[in-house]
Chain A
Amino acid sequence: MARKRPEPVEVVKARRENALSALVEAVPFIQFLGVEFDRRGDELTGVLPFRDDLIGNPLLPALHGGVVASFLEITSIVTLSWHYLWEDIESGAFDPVKAAGGQLPRLPKTIDFTVDYLRSGLPRDGYARATVSRAGRRYASVHVEAWQDHRHKLFAQATGHFLMPPPEPSE
């Protein structure tokens, strides 16, 4: 049996990039904080470019604890949604144009979120990567780590539980 020819790399990349930007740009709060995502295959890294209005302690200065929590929660939800939507993105069932117009698929909802503040956030860019520890049909557990200059010197980590969206009725 002849093997199906792999798709051209540009087609694959464009499809994934369009899906990711649709997901990220549709959420006002992600834009408000200025969080961006780097993608390598299916691996996402949240990026928080530093801005003065992210400061919580002007004397140190340090990032606001709420900014750190928000960044970690955003990275968790986007990563969880990304994995949950992956097959639909690859099959073309996920429509980035509809998503960008606000018609996003239902997103996971946070049940609880616990942040460990390991050291103060410096006034510079931050990075975060989330791991989906368990993705069940109804509940998911996600762990997320954030760092600034050194990947192994975390400034915060968090664990959260999420309620997965009910399955969409098939059309």
Chain B
Amino acid sequence: MANRTQLAKQFIEAIPHAQALGMVLDDIGDGTATFSMPYDARLVGDPATGVIHGGAVSALMDTCCGAAVMSHPDAPGGTATIDLRIDYMRAAQPGQRIVTTAICHRMTRSVAFVRATAWDDDRDRPVATATGAFTVEGR
């Protein structure tokens, strides 16, 4: 298992855009994944407040959801996002790392359903939640 996590970590962190955003895989296995992304001034969406752009949070959550699908016990050979909805509950605190956990809670022959939550340092108040459907390919 540790070996598989290591492999997934190397694979995902090598994705060019994951690397550009500084994403890190913290944990993965059995249909769940946890990723984080450090605060970076280049990702700011509102210069007046220094809050990270929603798009960067989307990218982190999309990657995390895809990884959760791939780590499911009935993992497909490959997956792609069909749709992803993100709800932004509040602005992430400038300067803080964003952490997100995704769970693939249902896998059919053709579709994987995923939920994710993102936080900053305050783990009681999520920054964003996501719901997505992913393809199940080449099993």
Contact = CB atoms under 8 A, between A and B. Distances in A.
A28 B84 contact: no
B37 to A, nearest CB: 11
A70 B85 contact: no
A104 B87 CA distance: 25
A136 interface: no
Interface stretch (A8-16, A37-45, A52-60, A83-91): A52-60
Interface stretch (B1-9, B55-63, B118-126): B55-63
Number of chain B interface residues as a range: 35 or more
A73 interface: yes
Nearest to B42: A32
Given A32-B42, A65-B66, A66-B60, A115 B84 contact: yes
Contact of B59 (A70, A77, A112): A70
A52 B52 CA distance: 23
Contact of A73 (B21, B54, B60): B54
B75 interface: no
A102 interface: yes
A146 interface: no
B58 A117 contact: no
A66 B86 contact: no
A113 B47 contact: no
Interface in A4-45: 26-29, 31-33
B45 interface: yes
A73 B19 CA distance: 21
Interface of A is mostly: mixed
A53 B17 contact: yes
Contacts of A53: 16-17, 19-20
A157 B87 CA distance: 17
A156 to B, nearest CB: 10
B59 A28 contact: no
Nearest to B91: A109
A69 interface: yes
Given A52-B16, A73-B54, A114-B85, A65 B46 contact: no
A117 B85 contact: no
A151 interface: no
Nearest to A26: B47
Given A58-B15, A64-B17, A116 B83 contact: yes
A57 B14 CA distance: 10
A82 B37 CA distance: 30
B81 interface: yes
Interface of A: 26-29, 31-33, 52-58, 64-67, 69-71, 73-74, 77, 102-104, 106-107, 109-117, 120
Interface of B: 14-21, 41-48, 52-56, 58-63, 66, 80-88, 91
9 contacts: A29-B56, A32-B43, A56-B18, A64-B62, A66-B62, A70-B59, A104-B48, A115-B81, A117-B82
